[in-house]
Amino acid sequence: GNGINVTPNTVQKWISYLENAYIIDEVPRYSKKAKKELEQSRKIYDSDVSMNSIRCKDNRFDLTHNMENIVYNELVYRGFTITVFDNNGKEIDFLAEKGGQRTYVQVAYSVVEEKTWKREFGAFSGIPVYDRKVIITNDDMDYSTSAVEHIRLIDFLQNESGI
């Protein structure tokens, strides 16, 4: 192929260089089923969201990934400890913890389509009632349910005191 031959160890070393330069953050994934951090499947977020366009293949711009990256950066800025949460095979973008409070956060560009709504809201299935569950989108319509709070991205970014 056209790729270069490198070992996983070399890739991990490069990732650590980028982390040490504050260019990226490597976020651990926590498994509900295994009740432990999964070492092999971490997610990477850019400190500068504009860097996402460099990683795009075929000039495809992924708005949802950029939104997810923006929300990640803002949560870190607000002092949350972040992990990606594997809820029995359904990924929840962020488990944000601060001051003993846990908030599960999903990010989607839109949940207007029923298939997307079911996937995004369904990821919260089985999460304890007492933990806060939030979905952040660009949708103007309020999709909140009795269990999940819907917040527009612009409202999230303008309200520094909360999530």
Which residue from 15, 112, 24 is spatially nearest to 72, judged by alpha carbons?
A: 24
CA-based max dimension of the chain: 51
Share of the chain above pLDDT 90, in %: 54
Q: What is the pLDDT of residue 44?
A: 76
Q: What is the pLDDT of residue 138?
A: 96
**Bridge partners, 98 (sequence order):** 101
Instruction: Report yes or no: 105 and 134 within 8 Å, Cβ to Cβ.
Output: yes
* pLDDT level of residue 57 (50, 70, 90 thresholds): low
d(CA 111, CA 124): 15
Q: What is the pLDDT of residue 13?
A: 81
Instruction: Report yes or no: 89 and 82 within 8 Å, Cβ to Cβ.
Output: no
The average pLDDT across 87-99 equals 93
Global model pTM greater than 0.75: yes
Per-position DSSP letters for the chain, written without gaps between them: --S----HHHHHHHHHHHHHTTSEEEEEEEETTTTEEEEEEEEEEESSGGGHHHH-GGG---HHHHHHHHHHHHHHHTT-EEEEEEETTEEEEEEEEETTEEEEEEE-S---SHHHHHHHHHTTTT--TTSEEEEEES-SS----SS-EEEEHHHHHH-TT--
d(CA 87, CA 127): 8
d(CA 49, CA 35): 31
The average pLDDT across 99-125 equals 96
pLDDT tens for each residue of 134-153: 999 999 999 999 999 999 99
pLDDT tens for each residue of 31-49: 766 555 555 567 877 776 7
Instruction: Give the pair of three-digit tokens for residue 29.
Output: 């994934």
Q: What is the mean pLDDT of the chain?
A: 84
Structural domains of the chain sorted by starting position, each given as residue range(s) with its CATH number in brackets: 49-158 (3.40.1350)
Q: What is the pLDDT of residue 4?
A: 80
